[in-house]
């Protein structure tokens, strides 16, 4: 996959951002995911393994097969898992839409921050469903940039986030997908769909979230589309710089930050 067709790209900074996101949010997003001994779990779109380490830690006796379209990301994920000392993860380069696995060969599916980048999210879920045994589960975690707000909030700060939403939509993705997880899973044929919103609330009394979420996850993600936003003429440089500065101001004492992730669980 080329950087051109994936909004966040594959830079070192993005690798660090995904790791900060996963580590900061691990309890919020993963505390209720554990797979039984002997089960086979397919993680699709593992990226550089930022979530994989938490999956491997939470389900030490399950076998996790982690797949991504990007070879360099899979190699980075392999290194991360090896360095962390986990031996229960296998890696493969592959496309969600054309995976080389037998039908019904997995007990569980895990997809995190991937559906938002796909033009055909329902079709991806349908194809993944075929790989799942009857009664097996899917866990899908996505954000929703429309759920972000901060204090103090300015029109310029809101505009920078709208640029990210707009750019991702132009690339065929949907950064507002969290709110659509339930209908997407139902449409793809999954049953017993349950979606649990997971809100991140940040103020100065939670310094680890100020750094790990507000600055290094969310603002870093918005800053990542600066050049695209300017070259597309979505915003002028002065408004952009003020919007980003205003977001940083909301990470200072007296400021607050809110964002909601959506975690879905469903069965085949």
Ligand X SMILES: C[S@@+](CC[C@H](N)C(=O)[O-])C[C@H]1O[C@@H](n2cnc3c(N)ncnc32)[C@H](O)[C@@H]1O
**Quick one: 63 or 168, whose CB is closer to ligand X?**
168
**Quick one: 22 or 234, whose CB is closer to ligand X?**
22
Is 229 exposed, middle or buried (CB count within 10 Å of its CB: 0-12, 13-18, 19+)?
buried
Q: Work out how close the CB of 196 gets to ligand X at its nearest, in angstroms, rounded to a whole number.
A: 17
Q: Work out how close the CB of 146 gets to ligand X at its nearest, in angstroms, rounded to a whole number.
A: 17
Pairing of strands 149-151, 256-267: antiparallel
Q: Work out how close the CB of 141 gets to ligand X at its nearest, in angstroms, rounded to a whole number.
A: 8
Q: Which residues are 43's β-sheet partners?
A: 66, 110
**Quick one: 46 or 163, whose CB is closer to ligand X?**
46
Chain residue whose CB lies nearest ligand X = 47
Backbone angles phi, psi at 96, to 5 degrees: -45, -35
**Quick one: 118 or 219, whose CB is closer to ligand X?**
118
Of 263, 257, 5, give the one whose Cα is nearest residue 151: 257
**Quick one: 42 or 44, whose CB is closer to ligand X?**
44
Backbone angles phi, psi at 137, to 5 degrees: -120, 155
Residues 6+ apart with CB under 8 A from 14: 8, 224
Of 75, 51, 76, give the one whose Cα is nearest residue 64: 51
Instruction: Write out the residues near ligand X by the rule CB under 6 A.
Output: 1, 6, 8, 18, 22, 44-47, 50-51, 68-70, 73, 95-97, 112-114, 117-118
Q: Work out how close the CB of 81 gets to ligand X at its nearest, in angstroms, rounded to a whole number.
A: 13
Q: Work out how close the CB of 151 gets to ligand X at its nearest, in angstroms, rounded to a whole number.
A: 27
Report residue 268 CA to chain centroid gap.
23
């Amino acid at each position: 996959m080329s950087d051109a067709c994936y909004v966040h790209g594959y830079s070192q900074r993005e690798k660090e951002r995904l790791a900060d996101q996963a580590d900061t949010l691990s309890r919020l997003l993963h505390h209720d995911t554990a797979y039984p001994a002997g089960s086979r779990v397919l993680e699709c779109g593992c990226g550089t393994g930022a979530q994989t380490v938490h999956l491997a830690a939470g389900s030490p006796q399950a076998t996790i097969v982690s797949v991504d379209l990007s070879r360099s990301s899979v190699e980075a994920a392999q290194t991360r898992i090896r360095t962390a000392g986990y031996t229960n993860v296998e890696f493969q380069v592959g496309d969600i839409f054309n995976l080389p696995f037998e039908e019904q060969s997995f007990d569980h599916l895990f997809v995190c921050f991937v559906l938002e980048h796909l033009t055909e999210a329902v079709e991806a879920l349908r194809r993944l469903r075929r790989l799942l045994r009857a009664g097996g589960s899917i866990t899908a975690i996505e954000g929703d940039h429309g759920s972000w707000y901060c204090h103090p909030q300015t029109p310029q700060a809101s505009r920078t986030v709208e640029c990210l939403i707009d750019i991702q939509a132009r690339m065929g993705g949907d950064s507002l997908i969290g709110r659509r997880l339930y209908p997407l899973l139902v449409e793809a044929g999954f049953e017993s769909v349950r979606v649990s919103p997971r809100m991140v609330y940040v103020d100065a009394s939670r310094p680890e979230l100020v750094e790990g979420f507000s600055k290094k996850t969310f603002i870093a993600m918005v800053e990542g589309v600066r050049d695209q936003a300017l070259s597309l003429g979505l915003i002028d440089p002065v408004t952009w710089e003020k919007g980003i500065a205003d977001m940083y101001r909301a990470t200072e004492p007296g400021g607050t930050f809110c964002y909601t992730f959506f975690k879905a669980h469903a069965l085949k």
